[in-house]
Amino acid sequence: MTDVFRVALSGDFNKADGAPTFPDFDLDPLRDEPNVELRFLESEDTLSGRQLEDFDALILLAHRFARQSVPESGRLTVVARFGVGYDTVDVDACTDAGIALVITPDGVRRPVAVSIMTFMLALTGKLKVKDQLTRQAAAGFAKRSDHMGVGLVGRTLGSLGIGNIGAELYRLAMPFDMKYIAHDPYADKAVAAELGIELVGLEELFRRADVLSVSCPLSEATRHIVNAKHLALMKPTAYLINTARGPIVDQKALTRVLQEGRIAGAGLDVLETEPPDADDPILKLDNVLLAPHALCWTDQCFAGNGAADVRAVLDVMHGREPRGVVNRDILATEGWKRRLADYGSRFGS
C-alpha cells in the first residue's frame, strides 16, 4: 500500500476545453490534504475497471458504473455519486466488490423540494399562459379573466414518496395551509405524524390529490407506477409534477391524458428519454411546463452535492464511516471494516 489516497473524478466533471463543468464544486478540501492525489478520468459513457485500478475513491457524475467498471486490484473502496439518483450505478456489483456507494441527500433535499414548489406555483398560478397574454399587449390583457389561477388554501398536496425530498416539500408548503397526503410503503410514520401527513393507499393518493408530486426513486417496483390506470383516477383539475426520474411515469399515457384534458396540467423536470426526440408530442403541449432535468441546478445545490461527496471521501480516507451509504449491508462486513481501519491507521482518524 502507498501512503497516497488516490481519488478519481469522472471525466464529465470537465468540459472539452478542460474547464470545470460546475465551478461551484469546490475541490480545495481534497487538494489541501497532503496525502490526496486527484485525477480526472477520460470521458467514457461507462467507466472501465482499467481506468480505476489504482484509485481508492471515485466521485461520479453522469457516467455509468457497471460491473465491468470494478477494478481487479480491489483497491477502490467508495463510489461517491454526485446527487441522489443511482440508477446509473450497478449497486450489486459495488456490494460484491466491497465498495460503498454513497449519495448526497443533504445536497439536494432543499433544491429539489424548491423545484417542486416552483412547478406547483407556476402551474396553479397559470404563469405560462399569463406570460403569453402579456406579450400580446392589449389583446392579451383583454383575455386575462379567462385564465383564473387556483388558490392553494385547503387544497390537497400529495406525494408519491416521503423520503428526504418528499418530507422537505411538505415543510416548505406549510404557509400555504394545504392538506397533506402521501403514499410510501417505507414511510417513517413518526415523520409523517410530525408533518401532519395522512398516509393513504396508492389509488387514494391519485384520487384525492389536487397537486401530486412524484418523489420516489426509480426501481423495478416504481417503473411506470404512474400509468394509465392511476392517471385515470386523478381529478380533471389536478396537476402532476415529476422531479424524480422520467421512467417512473408512463409518458405515453401521460401525454394522452394531457392531450385529452383529463388533468389540468403537468410540470416535468424529467422525461422518459433524455434528451427527448424533437418530435416528441409532449413538447408541443401548452398544459405542460418542462425543464431539462436541471430545475434544481443552482450554485447552492451543486456546492452542496460537491461538499457531501468530498466529505464522504475524506471520511473513508480517515477511517470513518461516510454518510449516505446506499448498500449499507457492506458496512458490517469484515472486509469493509479492515479497509476502513487500514485507512484510519495510515492517514489518521
Please identify every residue annotated as catalytic: 245, 274, 293
DSSP category for residue 136: T
- 3 state DSSP class of 219: coil
Separation between Cα atoms, residue 72 and residue 328, nearest integer Å: 22
Q: Copy the grid coordinates of residue 65.
A: 458504473
Nearest to 85 by CA among 246, 224, 202, 268: 246
Q: Copy the grid coordinates of residue 32.
A: 489541501
Separation between Cα atoms, residue 103 and residue 176, nearest integer Å: 31
Q: Copy the grid coordinates of residue 330.
A: 457492506
Separation between Cα atoms, residue 21 and residue 18, nearest integer Å: 9
Separation between Cα atoms, residue 121 and residue 117, nearest integer Å: 6
Task: Indicate the helix (H) or strand (E) that contains 337.
Answer: helix 334-347
- 3 state DSSP class of 234: coil
Separation between Cα atoms, residue 194 and residue 242, nearest integer Å: 25
Cβ-based neighbours of 174, under 8 Å, separated by 6 or more: none
Residue 340: strand pairing partners:
none
CA-derived radius of gyration, the chain: 22
Asked if residue 311 lies in contact with residue 330, where contact means CB atoms within 8 angstroms, the answer is no
Phi, psi of 199 (to 5 degrees): -85, 130
